[in-house]
A and B are shown apart, each in its own frame.
Chain A
Amino acid sequence: QSALTQPASVSGSPGQSITISCTGTSSDVGGYNYVSWYQQHSDTAPKLIIYDVTNRPSGVSNRFSGSKSGNTASLTISGLQAEDEADYYCASKTSSTTLGVFGTGTRVTVL
């Protein structure tokens, strides 16, 4: 099972919106509405910010939103803030025996 493909880095200025893509196949992203996104600040554990493609856990800012089209899922961060500078990972349920797969990760930089 290969990792889902994400851009290595995305950057934006404070207040701007950015979008991170997550590309898989019909066996994972395209086949299930079970894409999740995780935010990881330096030297800390990842944190769930989106699940089931579009849902936010309680306490997660509504500046984070998720979507999916075909085999590609996306995370949009609107009103970019300095605290959003972190690594972001997508993940998806898969039809393989490994059950799930993470994306390659995207480093978000706030200029």
Chain B
Amino acid sequence: QVQLVESGGGVVQPGRSLRLSCAASGFTFSNSAMHWVRQAPGKGLEWVAVISYDGTNKYYADSVKGRFTFSRDNIKNTLYLQMNSLRREDTAVYYCVREGGSYFTRLDYWGQGTLVTVSS
């Protein structure tokens, strides 16, 4: 069965960096575009970024553009989200999500999420 397992969350000071990982299994990882979606405490879902199946195309929300970098390793079946210049408003649970169709048509499998807290 499809499994997405995020890791790397934690408490980090404003302005510092953090890298999230997402280990995928149970499907042909190299065939699927993948997303990061976040949810601030008590708030709604916010799309963060998407990466194409081969890593050549990446799109970002305006709120993270220039600070976050999305990458993937199709040998290790792993996604990475490098988050730099973190702000308090980046505090959220970050979900790794599989795209089951074309971009943003069907987010069909979600990880359990990893909590990032930006605080001094």
Contact = CB atoms under 8 A, between A and B. Distances in A.
Contact of B46 (A57, A97, A99, A102): A102
Given A51-B100, A99-B50, A91 B108 contact: no
A45 interface: yes
B47 interface: yes
B91 to A, nearest CB: 17
Interface in A37-67: 38, 40, 45-48, 51-52, 57
Interface residues of A, number: 27
A46 B106 CA distance: 12
Contacts of B108: 48, 51, 57
The bracket for how many chain B residues form the interface is: 20 to 34
A40 B39 CA distance: 12
Contact of B47 (A34, A52, A57, A98): A98
Contact of A51 (B50, B59, B105): B105
A100 B102 CA distance: 11
A102 B39 CA distance: 11
Given A45-B110, A46-B110, A47-B110, A100 B44 contact: no
17 contacts: A34-B101, A45-B95, A46-B95, A46-B107, A48-B100, A91-B104, A91-B107, A92-B104, A97-B59, A98-B47, A98-B59, A99-B47, A99-B59, A99-B104, A102-B44, A102-B46, A105-B45
